[in-house]
């Protein structure tokens, strides 16, 4: 059966769809991109999705409607115990420090303490408080220095810087003496413990 006979049989069958064009018809002058375009496509086959008739209702089992026993009210306070695989010493104890953004032109005093971390300077003790006070004094001193652009104040600036350097060296020497005294005390304590044994 040829293509033309097939097309005639489709048209004669009274189908509601337009006949599908064949390659022979396309070459005979049908306009593929224009008014005859519908002839070159088929409607998709949509599967029948409804498996049972819509007017059929299935019986509901009576076991689903069994009455429930009332539950005792939950107490306001209760003790709950948990057990983990980890020891407390393995838990994270360092507090979280979020990221921060500094506004241009501002220098927060808190950023001068960035070298202090939990366990190394925090929580702050007496030594850390003294260090913070010295840093504040140094910032105030730096703000009081005459500017470098003022040539008449260069000598005054040099004297102030020499004086500050002497103060810092004296402070460092006192710190070294304190440390030496502490080491000597520890050495005496260790030697006393050894003599007792």
DSSP letters along 90-155, please? GS--SPP-----PPTT---GGGGGTT-EETBEES--HHHHHHHHHHHHHHHHHHHSPPTT-GGGHH
Distances (CA, A) of 84 to 42, 79, 93, 95: 65, 17, 17, 21
Task: For the full predicted model, state whether its pTM sits above 0.75.
Answer: no
What angle, 0 to 180 degrees and rounded to 10, lies between the N-to-C axes of helices 126-144 and 154-196?
Answer: 170
Q: Give the pLDDT confidence score for residue 107 in this predicted structure.
A: 80
Flag whether 125 is in a domain: yes
Flag whether 193 is in a domain: yes
Q: Name the residue among 167, 174, 173 with its Cα closest to residue 141.
A: 167
Instruction: Count the neighbouring beta carbons within 10 Å of the beta carbon of residue 116.
Output: 15
Scan for tokens 């049989």, then name that residue. 9
Q: Are residues 116 and 156 in the same domain?
A: no
Flag whether 112 is in a domain: yes
Domain that holds residue 161: 151-197
Q: What is the pLDDT along the chain (197 residues), one digit of tens a residue?
A: 455 555 555 554 444 445 555 555 555 666 777 777 777 777 766 666 656 565 666 666 665 566 677 888 888 888 887 777 766 666 666 677 778 888 888 888 887 787 887 778 878 889 888 988 998 999 999 999 998 888 899 999 999 999 999 999 999 999 999 999 999 999 999 999 999 87
Q: Are residues 158 and 138 in the same domain?
A: no
Flag whether 57 is in a domain: no
Q: Residue 57, SS3?
A: coil
Q: Give the pLDDT confidence score for residue 159 in this predicted structure.
A: 94
Flag whether 34 is in a domain: yes
**Cα end-to-end distance, the chain, whole Å:** 119
Residue 109 CB contacts under 8 Å (≥ 6 apart), including other chains: 136
Domain count, the chain: 3
Kindly state the greatest CA–CA separation across the chain. 124
Q: Name the residue among 95, 100, 99, 97 with its Cα closest to residue 119.
A: 95
Phi and psi at residue 71, to the nearest 5°: -90, 145
Q: Give the pLDDT confidence score for residue 167 in this predicted structure.
A: 94
Flag whether 20 is in a domain: yes
Phi and psi at residue 153, to the nearest 5°: -100, 5
């Amino acid at each position: 059966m040829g293509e033309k006979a097939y097309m005639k049989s489709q048209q004669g069958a009274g189908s509601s769809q337009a006949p599908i064009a064949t390659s022979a018809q396309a070459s005979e002058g049908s306009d593929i991109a224009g008014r005859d375009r519908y002839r070159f496509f088929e409607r998709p086959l949509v599967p029948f999705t409804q498996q049972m008739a819509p007017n059929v209702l299935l019986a509901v089992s009576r076991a689903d409607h069994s009455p429930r026993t009332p539950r005792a009210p939950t107490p306001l306070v209760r003790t709950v115990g948990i057990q983990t695989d980890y020891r407390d010493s393995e838990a994270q104890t360092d507090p979280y420090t979020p990221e921060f953004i500094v506004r241009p032109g501002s220098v927060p005093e808190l950023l001068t303490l960035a070298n202090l971390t939990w366990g190394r300077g925090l929580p702050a003790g007496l030594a850390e408080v003294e260090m913070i006070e010295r840093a504040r004094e140094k910032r105030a001193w730096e703000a009081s220095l005459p500017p470098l652009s003022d040539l008449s104040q260069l000598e005054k600036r040099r004297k102030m810087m020499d004086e500050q350097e002497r103060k810092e060296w004296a402070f460092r020497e006192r710190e070294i003496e304190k440390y030496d005294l502490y080491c000597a005390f520890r050495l005496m304590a260790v030697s006393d413990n050894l003599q007792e044994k």
